[in-house]
Each structure stands twice: as structure tokens, then as C-alpha cells.
Structure 1
Amino acid sequence: MNKQTISGFIRDYLHHKLNEKQKAQLETWYLLKAEENKSVEMPIAYEKLEAKIWNKIIADVSQTTQELPKVQKLKQSYRRIISIGIAASLILIAGIGYLVLKNNANTPDRFVIAKKYDLPAGTDKATLTLSDGKVIDLNKDAVGKIAAEAGIEITRSVDGTLVYKALNTGKSAGFNTITTPIGGQYAVILPDGSKVWLNAGSSLKYPTAFAENGREVALTGEGYFEVAHREGPKGRVPFSVTVVKNQTPSERVEVLGTHFNINAYADEPFINTTLLIGSVKVALNNNKAALLKPGQTARLSNENIKVQQADTEMAVAWKNGEFVFREDLRSAMRKVARWYDVEIIYDETAPEDLMLGGWMSRGTNISEVLNHIQLTGKVHFKLEGRRVIVSK
């Protein structure tokens, strides 16, 4: 962050105007200043180190802010953060475009993933399987019309989104399936105008034309939905999602609103349905059901539904091109594995219960993510091809 951005964040922090992400960015900036001023060879007493860091912070912002008399409040706030032991994990919050990890002389070599072993982030790629069995690689086709079948035309927009358009030919509808690989993501606008974003390792099956009395799709993996309102002869046409986990239909989401996220990966312990706008009804095969309000998550476990307050930022971070880590290490590494197409291997020393907190861009190479997590000082990564070895 430049000086003007820093001073603006400090000013807004003091007036309680920062949102959670901005607070995280400011806290990370402060803690990375601490990291820059550490001396591995000659440790400095805590009080002297804190004073040295804070003097550098004041020097950084002194030319652009009028709030320095109040800035001690911020210092006290961070002293409390550090004192309760979460300072190291907050370093994870550094994001591309905001902070850059400086590999200076004081950074231990074991905390640096060499660039020659680096892996790029995932990209927009998927395959489309038509009703006749034909498979189209959406990573290679040019923008424009890519297929036509069963009375619909399928095109790719300039931003890569798959778009369906009805041709009103009277032909019966078939089913298409869009599938994203590990390390891929894609978005599709369905025949009714609803838009669905698919995360890595996911699939969506849907008809090429919806019936007048209902709209039904099936999801595996993770998807974010923005459902279009549609009126039929008998009123509003319902939209429902059958959620499939481990090749078994696990729940049905009946949409009464518009914006929601479903996470149903086979390697996750729960199916989480998170509502942002509108309302949805989550129903199980055993007739148990729950109605969600915005800001709530329905967590499915052992054929039971638990409704709880949602961390909506974390739930939809992937769709917004971000990692948000407010979870345990192994949960975070499952996200990393899917996006970078790597295998995670834990050796006998790997921490079992390390909790993380922070965010990063999903557009950066894997080394940036791993290097920042390592700054907790409680975990170490070794990258071997497409294997990430995790140790203490």
C-alpha cells in the first residue's frame, strides 16, 4: 500500500469506517512491517522492536495524514492483537495489489518457495457435454457461436461466459452438462437468464429449455447462483437445485430468492448452502427442511440440517477471485489443492489444529499463498512438482 492509502486507512479506522477486509489489509500491513524489522541473528527485546516498527509506520504516514495524535489508539489495538497470539496468522491477509512479501536478507530460506518450482493459478476452463454426447472444450473455442441443438443456440461472450439462447424451433429439450476440472472455473447463463458460477472440480446438469411449471438443475462440487425471476401461466416458476455428493443426491434447494452459494465437495465434511439475497428452502430426502434468511448457512451433516450465521465473505470469496482463510489449515489447503491442481501430503509433524485468518488473491502463483501461510512460523511447505509436503 502506498502512503496515501495507508493514511486513509488509518484515518478511516480511527473513525470506525473500515469494512472487515480493509481492517484485515491494514492489520497485515502493520504486521509485515514487523516482519521486515525482525532480526533473525540478533533478536531485539519486544518493547524495542515494537517502538522501532511504530516509528517507521509514523514516518511512512507523517507526510499525508493529520490524524497522528490519534494513531496511538491503533497501536494499542494491535498490541492487544499481538498479545492474544493471532498476529502471525493475520499476515495471511496480504493480497496481490495491496501487499508484496519482501524476501529480504532477514527472511529465513525455509520460508521461501523457489520460483522455479512455482505453479500458476487456475483459469477459466471447462468442458460442455451436449445431449447427443458431443464434448466441447470451452478452454479452446473462440468467442461467438459454438453449438446449436434442441432449439437453442450456445455462444461464448467476450468475458468467457457460456450463454444459451432459445430459438423457438419446437424441438424437445435435452440436457447439457458443464464440468470444470481441478484448477478451472467457469460461468454459464442458463436458458432462463439465471447465471451460475462453477468453482474448480464441479459440474452442473441442466435442460436446454426449462418447463413452464418448473426449473430444475443438478450440482456437484461448488456453485454460486443468481436466479432470474420468471413468470409462467400459473405465476412464478420455481427454481430448484439437486445437490449431488459422492454420486448421491443429498439435498434439494428450492429457490425463493436469488443469490446463494452451495458447497458440496466430496472431500468436505458438510454441505453448506449460504444465502446472500432472498430466501431458499433446503430439504433432505428424510423430509427435514429449513428456510434460510439472508446471511444464514444451512449445514448438512448426518442427514440433519443446522442453520447458523454465515460468513458470507468466505463463502463467496472464490467467486470474487479471492481466498479467505478463517478456518483450520487443512480446510484451507483443500481450497489450495483444488485451485492449483496439487496433491497435499501431511508428514507426521504437520500441525493438526492450526487456525488461520486472512485473505489473498486467487490470481497469484501458489508460492505467494504458501509463503504467506508459512509466516505463521507454525507450518512449512515443500513444493515437489504438483505435490505440497506439509510439515511443522
Structure 2
Amino acid sequence: MDKKEAKEILKKYNQGTCSPEEKEWVESWYLQIVGNSKQEGVSDLDMPSLQKDIWHQIVASRPIEKSKKKIYIRIAAAASLFIAIGLSFYFFQQNATDVSLDKNRIISQIQPGGNKAMLTLSNGTKINLADLEDGASVKEQGLRISKRSNGELIYEVVGENNSTKGNTIETPIGGQYQVVLPDGTKVWLNASSALEYPLNFSGNERRVVLRGEGYFEVKSDKTKPFRVVSGNQIIEVLGTKFNVNTYKDESSRKTTLLEGSVRVSANGINKLLKPGEQAKVIDDNIEVDKVDPDQVVAWYRGDFAFEGAELQTIMREISRWYNVDVVYQGDIANVKFGGSISRSKDIREVLHVLSLTQGVNFKLEGRRVTVML
């Protein structure tokens, strides 16, 4: 393919008029670029900085719905950005590698997760929220608990509330849910997660217990700090936005700050975070690093995001969301990817995107995914 033909395909891609084969070729090239820190022909460029610019361009170019939870993929903007900064030479000199998912080996269809959760009331009664009609509500200790159609549970004070008891909301593998607590704090729970919280934030603090992963937008109250307890760590805030990932199969417990400030405490160590920083509790230590918050919270906006992520990390996310088992064939320890895709896609589409780069293939049998390098 010559330079003129490649330019024409990119033009059609940006206009949304290219064929499925042309679209796959462009996205395959893009994923190969961002998945590697060094590529032939661009060794003199600052790839880490370049990849960060590309990621922000993708996020900025994807329109957000009113719910602010869905963001649509527009890799086209990333391709345009590459050309604008002079990488077209590399693009036209490279042959796109066609590494695709073997569709003949896919024998089942696995749908993505959705709004599913179990609510446990203070008296022990369990309510499957998937079975509760939209708009329905229950009363609990002076509170009205209402279910919205968008997978949201809202607590409203409608009477005297002096309860010392609490509720628990728990999402299964392949589930997610949002809850608005009695103080107005909003919490989004990822798959296989749980949140325990009191019906009345009495005393001098607002304390909840998290298992799994949750994104928090804490209602400001300077007289009552908000504390998230997870294992042996405590995250303390006054009013802010942050994400907490405490899955047991991850190598560390991570707290990522988007706005405001938080204090992370564990094993007698305290760290104060600034926006854009992430605290990792590893063994008896807390490490603080700069990260891209947009990637960390992509899940609550409806996306998988894996800029520079290791394959095993990606597959753990896929396993939790699609409720599949993952096994590996070959040495995949150093395989990393770059890009994003909607969590609303069928698992075959997600695996296909991943298979477009790095020489990785997938075999899907029932609820078992075999990763082959």
C-alpha cells in the first residue's frame, strides 16, 4: 500500500465511511503503536509523552451522555493526532500485522455484565435489585430507598432516623451498581464488590467498608470526615472524588485521587494524595505514583482502558465483568497493551480488539478463555 492509499483510508476512517477490513487495519496499527514504548522509525520521539497525549485526545473526543457514564470510542482522533505530529512516515512504511481472533473456535456467546446487585437490609432481608421494578421503593428506619432505571439506588430521609444499623449492597461477578447514601455521597460499585454503610451517619465521622472496587463522589461535610475502610487501610476525606481498588487477586490495594485531597493510612503509615496521584498499599508500605485518573475510572464510565497495562491485569478485569475463567499458554509476563473499548461489547469483540496486536490469540470455549502467545 502506497502513501496515497493509506491517507485515503485514514480520511475514510475519520469520516466513518471505511469498510470493516479498513477499520481493522487502522486500529491494528494504532494498537501496535501504543502497545510498545519503542517502534522502528520513531525511536527519536518521546513515546511515553506521545502516548499520554493520544490517550487524552481519545478521552476528549468521545462525547459523554447526560448520565456521564457512557463514553464512546473514537480511536480515529488518535490516528489523526499521530499524522499531525509527524508519524505518518512510520505508518506508511510499516505493514500492518493481521493477528485476528479465530472465529471458528468461538462456540458460545457471552454477554457483558450489567446493573445487578443484592441489597441486604438491617433486619437481614435480602432484595435482588434486578428483580425490583424500576421506580419501586422500600422504607427502612426513616429512609426511603428507591431504585432508578439506570442502576441507581437512592436513600432519602423521610422521617426520624436514629438507627444504629446499616445496609450492605453487593454486586456479583458481572454486576455493577450505583448507590446514593443518606448523606448525598455517590458510590459506584464495580463487579464483585460490596459496600457496608450505616443508615445514619451519627457521631463525628461517616464510615463505610468496601470490598472490591468503588468510585466515590463524597458530599462535603467539614464537621464529619468520610472514611473508607478496606482491609488494613483507611482512606479519609472531607469531600472529594476518588477510586479505590481492593480486589484480592490484585498485587496491591490502590487509591486514586481525581479531585480534592485524601489521606491513606495503613500499618501506621500515612500518605496525603494530590489529584492525579495513586497510593499503592503493598505489604507494610505505601507507594505513591503519578497516574492518569481517566484510565483508572474508565470502568465506571462504561469502558475498559488499558494504556500500557499488562495482559494479565486486563484479563482479570475481563474475567470479573464477563464471568469467565482465564488460562494461559505461553510466556505472557511482559505483554502490554494500549487502547480502550466499551464494556457493553460482547466478549468476542473485546478479545478481537486485543488480538489485533502483540501476537496474542484467544480461544473461547463455554466460559473459559485460553490466552495463547
TM class by shorter chain equals 0.7 to 0.9
Q: Aligned partners of 1:253, 1:18: CA distance in 2, in Å? A: 28
Q: Deviation at 1:214?
A: 1.2
Distance verdict in 2 for CA 1:345–1:281, change over 3 Å: same
Q: SS in structure 2 opposite 1:318?
A: helix
Q: State whether residues 183 and 201 of structure 1, in contact with CA within 8 Å, keep that contact through their aligned partners in structure 2.
A: yes
How far, CA to CA, are the matches of 2:55 and 2:101 in structure 1?
35
Q: Considering only CA atoms, is the larger Rg found in Structure 1 or Structure 2?
A: 1
Matches within 5 A, 1:250-269: 250-269=232-251
Read off the aligned partner of 2:164 and give its amino acid letter. A
Letter in 2 for 1:239: F
Q: Which has the higher contact order (CA 8 A, sep 6+)?
A: 2
| Matches for 1:85-104 after TM superposition, within 5 Å | none
Mark the CA change 1:205 to 1:113 in structure 2 (over 3 Å): closer, same or farther.
farther
> Counterpart of 2:200 in 1: which secondary structure?
coil
- The SS at the match of 2:268 is coil
Q: Is the Cα contact below 8 Å between 1:351 and 1:378 reproduced in 2?
A: no
For the pair 1:128 / 2:116, whether they are aligned, the reply is no
Counting matched residue pairs gives 316
Instruction: Render the CA deviation track for 1:65-95: whole Å, top value 9, x for unaligned.
Output: xxxxxx995484144479899x87xxxxxxx
2:6 — aligned with what? none
Q: Secondary structure at the match of 1:117?
A: coil
The verdict on how the C-alpha distance between 1:372 and 1:111 changes in structure 2, with shifts beyond 3 A counting, is farther
Equivalence for 2:110: 119
CA distance in 2 between counterparts of 1:151 and 1:223 reads: 26
Cα 1:331–1:20, aligned 2, differ >3 Å: closer, same or farther?
A: same
Is 2:252–2:280's contact at 8 Å kept on the other side of the alignment?
Answer: yes
Deviation at 1:362, TM superposition (A): 0.6
**Cα distance in 1 for residues equivalent to 2:140 and 2:249:** 35
Q: Within the alignment, does 1:299 sit opposite 2:290 as a pair?
A: no
Aligned partner of 2:315: which letter?
Answer: M
CA apart distance, 1:236: 2.2
Match of 1:25 in 2: 75
1:77 is aligned to: 87
Matched-pair identity in %: 40
In 2, the alpha carbon distance for the partners of 1:77 and 1:259 equals 36
Match of 2:332 among 351, 369, 378: 351
Three-state SS of the structure 2 residue aligned to 1:381 is: strand
Q: Cα 1:293–1:171, aligned 2, differ >3 Å: closer, same or farther?
A: closer
Local SS of the residue matching 2:337: coil
Report the aligned-residue RMSD: 3.1
Alignment equivalent of 1:237, drawn from 224, 239, 246: 224
CA distance in 1 between counterparts of 2:349 and 2:248 reads 27
Q: TM-score, normalised by structure 1?
A: 0.73
Counterpart contact for 1:111–1:375, Cα < 8 Å: no
**Measured at CA, do residues 166 and 293 of structure 1 come closer, stay the same or move farther in structure 2, by a change above 3 Å?**
same
8 Å Cα contact 2:106-2:363 kept in structure 1: no
Distance 2:148 2:197 in 1: 19
**What is the CA-CA distance between 1:275 and the residue it aligns to?**
0.3
The separation in 2 between residues aligned to 1:281 and 1:130, in whole angstroms, is 30
What residue is the counterpart of 1:315 in the other structure? Answer: 296
- Is contact 2:100–2:361 with CA below 8 Å preserved after alignment? no
Unaligned runs of 5+ in 1: 31-70, 89-106, 244-248
Could you tell me whether the CA contact under 8 Å between 1:129 and 1:178 is conserved in 2? yes
Partner of 1:213: 204
CA–CA distance in structure 2, aligned partners of residues 240 and 295 of structure 1: 20
Question: What residue is the counterpart of 1:55 in the other structure?
Answer: none
Distance (Å, rounded) in 1 between the aligned partners of 2:319 and 2:284: 27
| Contact residue 200 and residue 338 of structure 1 kept, 8 A | yes
What's the secondary structure of 1:236's corresponding residue? Answer: coil
Shift of 1:113: 6.5
Does 1:178 find its partner at 2:169?
yes
Pick closer, same or farther for the CA change 1:115–1:345 going to 2, 3 Å: closer
Contact 2:122–2:167 (8 Å) recurs in 1: yes
> Is residue 215 of structure 2 the alignment partner of residue 224 of structure 1?
yes
